[in-house]
Structure 1
Amino acid sequence: MKRIVSTDEAPEAVGAYSQATTNGSLLFTAGQIPLTTDGELLADESITAQTEQALDNLVAVLEEGGASPEDVLKVTVFLGDIDDFEEMNETYAGYFDEEPPARSAVEVANLPKGVGVEVEAIASLE
């Protein structure tokens, strides 16, 4: 049975989606962008700062759903510019340093609110 996951420790969903959903075995997060819980958008900050905020949001959603970064099986990183990959990767490595999950990183034409990075994950709850 599907359960909706929601936390005040990450920006609230502002559309027809949930921060995350789970069936009790797997947790699927929505894409997290560099938006603070106070509504501050970090679109003009460095990719390092944007990646940090997006991953902080992701970790908050994971924790609310009963998971941690160690439980993440797969991450997808969407970049506005693939040339930002190295800078994003340095920051990302600090969140998933031991036994990192599978990951895809792709350049996309546009991201919500003009940000440079968006991150989503699938985690195991078992």
Structure 2
Amino acid sequence: MTNKAVIHTDKAPAAIGTYSQAVKVNNTVYLSGQIPLIPDTMELIEGDISVQIRQVFDNLSEVCAASGGDLSNIVKLNIFLTDLSNFAVVNQVMGEYFQQPYPARAAIGVSELPKGAQVEMDGILVI
């Protein structure tokens, strides 16, 4: 029998739809997509794409912590960008948050994201 738990923290943005921030099944945590919302205000952070990327990593970090892990436990990261020319910025900022071995990753260009965000990320971590 699996051990399934819904993960929630007030230190990350609340869900803006019919989903949980994360779901933990045994030692695997499935992180829902995070956009660059400020948890206290639920508004998009102001600033360039690097500021938005940092906010997303900060939000993911808080959900990871609430699940008993941290960013280093992420084994798969999906990055959605409205402008793939920001790919180099993603790599630069990601290097501030992750060390080798890096997680498996995909970067996907999309036409639009919720609330007009330029970046969204989701992932899977194993604790």
Under a length normalisation based on structure 1, what TM-score does the superposition of the two structures give? 0.94
Match in the other structure for 1:32: 34
Match in the other structure for 1:41: 44
Match in the other structure for 1:53: 55
CA shift digits 1:4-62 (9 cap, x unpaired): 000011001121100000112200000011001122312x5211000000000000000
Q: How many residues align?
A: 124
- What's the Cα RMSD here? 1.0
- 1:13-92 matched pairs, under 5 angstroms: 13-38=15-40, 39-42=42-45, 44-92=46-94
Looking at structure 2, the residues matched to 119 and 41 of structure 1 have their Cα atoms a distance apart, in angstroms, of: 15
Looking at structure 1, the residues matched to 26 and 68 of structure 2 have their Cα atoms a distance apart, in angstroms, of: 9
Q: 2:14 aligns with which of 12, 15, 18?
A: 12
Looking at structure 2, the residues matched to 35 and 108 of structure 1 have their Cα atoms a distance apart, in angstroms, of: 18
Under a length normalisation based on structure 2, what TM-score does the superposition of the two structures give? 0.93
The runs of at least 4 aligned residues of structure 1 exceeding 3 Å deviation read none
* Percent of residue pairs identical: 38
Match in the other structure for 1:99: 101
Deviation at 1:98, TM superposition (A): 2.4
Q: For residue 64 of structure 1, what is the amino acid of its counterpart?
A: A
Structure 2: segments with no counterpart, 5+ residues: none
Looking at structure 2, the residues matched to 119 and 78 of structure 1 have their Cα atoms a distance apart, in angstroms, of: 6
| Of 52-61 and 80-89, the range deviating more from structure 2 | 80-89
Looking at structure 1, the residues matched to 30 and 70 of structure 2 have their Cα atoms a distance apart, in angstroms, of: 13
